[in-house]
Amino acid sequence: MESKSPDTPVSRQKSHEKSKPGNKDRPWTAVLAVLLFLAAFFGGFEIIERVYLRDVSEMWLHKMHLFRGILASVATGGLVAYLLEVRFRSGSTARRFANDVNPWIHRLQEVSIRTKLIVPFILLSTLPAAVVGYYAIAHTGNTLKNEIVSQVQSEAVARANDMQEFLLQVETDARFLASLAPIRSLAGHRSEASRCKAEDALLVFSQGRRAFYQVRYLDSRGMEMVRLNLKDGRPLPVPAELLQDKSDRYYFREGMEANAGGVYASPMDLNMEFGRIESPPNPVVRYASPVLDERGEKAGLIVINLFAEHLFSVLRPFPNQTRIMILDRSGVVLASSPEQPTGATRILFQPGLTLSELGLSGASRRILADTAGILESNESFMIHAPIRRTADEAWAGWIFAAKTPFSAVIAPLHHQKALLYLALSAMIVLACLVGLLIGHYITRPIIRLARGMEEIAAGQFDLRLNIATGDEIEFLAQQANRMAEKLGESDRRLRNWNDELQKEVSRQTEEIRRSQEHLASAQHLAAMGQFAAGVAHEIGNPLGAMKLAAQAIDATAVAWPRPADPDRCKICEPVVAHPRIHTLAMRLVEEIDRLAGIVRNFNAFARPAPTRLAPCQLEDMIGPLVDLSKKTAEKAGIRIETDISPRLPEILVDFQQARQIILNLILNAIQAQPGGGRILVSAAPNGGNKVAVHVSDMGGGIRPEDREKIFQPFYTTRADGTGLGLSVARRLAAQNNAELYLGHANGWNTVFTLELRAMAGAAT
């Protein structure tokens, strides 16, 4: 017989430990983890490539794609091998797999059925939306970026063309001047009369050409015969004794070597006078064209000094942080804007810089090419376009370049991405809500069945579950109803003998409960009656009766003497018999009036009157208000002045509400100057179809931290204020399509401005 080892508790524990996961026999778990990592890397490579590898060369991208393909093959082969191993191999491998999987299965079984339904639905609905949304965001961002770069490129090329057209026009002007009859006559006959005629011709031509810093005619020896200098925007002739010899200047030699009818354009440099650089330095570009005499020989040279600063003004400033540069054919920067411009870009003459100093030495060949193009790097992109100074140039003499950082270009993209992220988030939230609703709809009958079973187990045998789903859940509910019915019958047979006793106990209990309810109701009504009587006693004397009582007290303190002859004395002056009582009574009346005003303010704030818009004249409103306020102002030592523009247009407002706003502003200005001062009430058109009313005072002003709070309800800086005046005024202004705000001081401490709308078609 085959011997068997005894089945002891120790042997069973050892065999359980061998089969227990985590004891060095879980190699396939590590393999599965590696496969999952490779799959995640394979799926996330597209995200890494789009976000972090945009500027990697094509060679490196090809190698990375090859590496990703190898990883995908390894992951797919390993996963297939693992599945085959589990499927066809029995024994320890299958047991290890089962031991690894069983704990997760038990954990999933412990989750509620609602969670089992909702979580897969949310995952299936949100994961595709998230993937599609990500790719949509990436595609939209790239599309918008390319569109913005294309727009910047078109604008840069257009501006380079503008400068080129301007320079070609200067070339045409130089050629035209060289062909003028007075200039050619001076070349053949060097007389004073010929010189004067040539000077007049140049003066007529130079009118309105502010870019021409100097216009000169030089004879064949390099001596200036006629010269015009631009001063204060006008060309002025230079006296003969101040004319200079320019035979040693390079542009004279180069210009004289130009072909007949041709134009020579000089490099950009600083203008020199009498052998020294002009102060302040003025960068210029010179256009020279030979002048032919009657025999067709070169007898002189027309030279136009083009003011470089005016030339640069032809370039409209770029937005954002774009840096503009003008380069020559050798790659030297002739002029550029600041490296970090603020506001509008201004190009300045900055000779001496090179592309290598700007970190662009590697792209110099492409930048100096004779065609427009674009260069991109990680941080910025540069647009370059050629500029031909003359029509005969085989290669462009200058290069226009505009360098823009991507940080300035992609700023508009953030808004678009934010909208896409918001839409994606809304889609995910909607999917979650729909999942919750569907899960609730599916699990509701199951939950009702479970709760019904709990109630039946608790003894509610009369409960019947009404669940009509047409499936197994309905069948379970029917079986539960049958079980409850049988349990109920058994329970009734056991309780029949106790029914009478229970009825009697229930009757007495009901009588006691009703008595207690009646007693509690009586006590509640008594308490309410006492409270109502107390409140009626406290508020029995209204505010008006208090004022009448105060006036009656004041009447006892004032005596009216009886005249001896009533017919002769019609008016008698009162005599204050008790000054102290009179003062206190009047103060009481004032406080009652102030309290009544506070109540009115609260009523006005809580229940605003309806607005009735109608045409009215502002002069008819301001004049009476100022007259009404003058007495109060004079008591405080304040002078009210007015400044109303004539022929103000009609305004469309509620007359009483607009009057209330302006009166409130005047009274606030009076209260702000307890020691006296000035108030100015002015009205004038405020552009378009608006009229502004300004109430200015010389009070203590408003602190900066209070400027945004003064229009908030219940905010006040006065001890006796309610904080509702300006709040009510602003709300009334809004009801009248007007605007109330704290304006600029302009010499006053405080200025409130009420901006009203004029009638349509009214002249301002």
Give pLDDT tens digits for 42-57.
Answer: 556 655 665 555 555 5
pLDDT surpasses 60 at 666: yes
Nearest alpha-carbon partner for 714 in 697, 726, 730: 726
The answer to whether the beta carbons of residues 296 and 207 sit under 8 Å apart is: no
The answer to whether the beta carbons of residues 182 and 300 sit under 8 Å apart is: no
Between these two residues, 669 and 448, which has the higher pLDDT value?
669
The answer to whether the beta carbons of residues 306 and 174 sit under 8 Å apart is: no
CB atoms within 10 A of CB 362: 11
The reported pLDDT for the residue numbered 15 is: 45
Lowest-confidence region among 3-12, 574-583, 709-718: 3-12
Determine the average pLDDT of the residues in 175-199. 86
pLDDT tens-digit map of 194-224:
889 888 888 888 887 877 888 999 998 989 8
> Which amino acid is present at 590?
E
Strand partners, 172: none
The answer to whether the beta carbons of residues 99 and 55 sit under 8 Å apart is: no
Helix (H, G, I), strand (E, B) or coil at 122: helix
Question: For residue 328, what pLDDT band results from cuts at 50, 70 and 90?
Answer: confident
Rounded CA separation 742/659 (Å): 18
Question: For residue 708, what pLDDT band results from cuts at 50, 70 and 90?
Answer: confident
pLDDT tens-digit map of 513-561:
877 865 664 454 345 334 433 433 444 346 666 667 776 776 776 655 5
Q: Is the four-CA dihedral 293, 297, 298, 299 of positive or negative sign?
A: negative
Report CA-CA distances (Å) from 299 to 172, 221, 242, 525, 577. Answer: 20, 9, 22, 125, 117
The reported pLDDT for the residue numbered 722 is: 65
Nearest alpha-carbon partner for 615 in 761, 729, 764, 758: 758
Question: For residue 572, what pLDDT band results from cuts at 50, 70 and 90?
Answer: low
pLDDT tens-digit map of 392-444:
777 777 888 888 877 766 666 677 677 777 877 887 788 778 777 877 777 77
Between these two residues, 630 and 496, which has the higher pLDDT value?
630
Q: Which long-range contacts (CB under 8 A, 24 or more apart) does 172-175 make?
A: 173/205, 173/209, 173/287, 173/304, 174/263, 174/287, 174/288, 174/289, 174/302, 174/304, 175/261, 175/263, 175/289
pLDDT tens-digit map of 728-746:
888 888 889 999 988 876 7
Residue with token string 């191993």:
85
pLDDT surpasses 50 at 635: yes
Mean pLDDT of the chain: 75
Determine the average pLDDT of the residues in 443-466. 80
Rounded CA separation 146/140 (Å): 10
Q: Of 95-104, 133-142, 606-615, which has the strongest mean pLDDT?
A: 606-615
- 305 backbone dihedrals φ, ψ, rounded to 5°: -85, 110
Rounded CA separation 666/669 (Å): 5
Look up the pTM and report it.
0.43
The reported pLDDT for the residue numbered 23 is: 42
Determine the average pLDDT of the residues in 465-489. 80
Residue with token string 């496969």:
35
pLDDT tens-digit map of 26-37:
455 556 666 666
For helices 181-188 and 192-206, angle between their N-to-C axes, nearest 10 degrees: 150
Rounded CA separation 205/197 (Å): 12
Rounded CA separation 242/227 (Å): 9
Q: Is the four-CA dihedral 209, 177, 267, 397 of positive or negative sign?
A: positive
The answer to whether the beta carbons of residues 647 and 687 sit under 8 Å apart is: no
The reported pLDDT for the residue numbered 21 is: 44
pLDDT tens-digit map of 501-524:
778 778 888 888 877 865 664 454
Q: What is the dihedral of CA 663, 666, 672, 676, to 10 degrees?
A: -130
The reported pLDDT for the residue numbered 301 is: 92
pLDDT tens-digit map of 63-117:
776 777 777 677 677 667 766 666 665 555 556 656 666 676 666 666 677 777 7
The reported pLDDT for the residue numbered 2 is: 44
Between these two residues, 299 and 90, which has the higher pLDDT value?
299
pLDDT tens-digit map of 362-378:
556 666 666 777 777 76
Helices marked H in 189-324: 192-206, 250-256, 308-313
The reported pLDDT for the residue numbered 754 is: 93
The reported pLDDT for the residue numbered 532 is: 36
Per cent of the chain over pLDDT 90 is: 7
Residue with token string 């039946």:
456
pLDDT surpasses 90 at 683: yes
Per cent of the chain over pLDDT 70 is: 66
pLDDT tens-digit map of 165-175:
888 888 899 89
Rounded CA separation 637/639 (Å): 7
Report CA-CA distances (Å) from 174 to 170, 289, 293, 486, 744. Answer: 6, 6, 16, 119, 54
Q: Is the four-CA dihedral 527, 530, 533, 537 of positive or negative sign?
A: negative
- Would you state the structure tokens that stand for residue 667, as one six-digit string? 């009274």
How many CA atoms lie less than 13 Å away from 246 in the CB half-sphere? 30
Helix (H, G, I), strand (E, B) or coil at 498: helix
Cβ neighbours for 714, distance < 8 A, ≥ 6 positions apart? 722, 723, 724, 727
DSSP class of 675? T
User: Strands 323-328 and 373-376, how do they pair?
Assistant: unpaired
Question: For residue 679, what pLDDT band results from cuts at 50, 70 and 90?
Answer: very high
pLDDT surpasses 50 at 9: no
pLDDT surpasses 90 at 693: yes
The reported pLDDT for the residue numbered 345 is: 46
Residue with token string 């007693």:
519
- Would you state the structure tokens that stand for residue 463, as one six-digit string? 């409960």
- 527 backbone dihedrals φ, ψ, rounded to 5°: -65, -40
pLDDT surpasses 50 at 22: no
- Would you state the structure tokens that stand for residue 653, as one six-digit string? 């407002």
The reported pLDDT for the residue numbered 91 is: 55
The reported pLDDT for the residue numbered 8 is: 45
Residue with token string 């009274």:
667
The answer to whether the beta carbons of residues 390 and 168 sit under 8 Å apart is: yes
Between these two residues, 243 and 79, which has the higher pLDDT value?
243
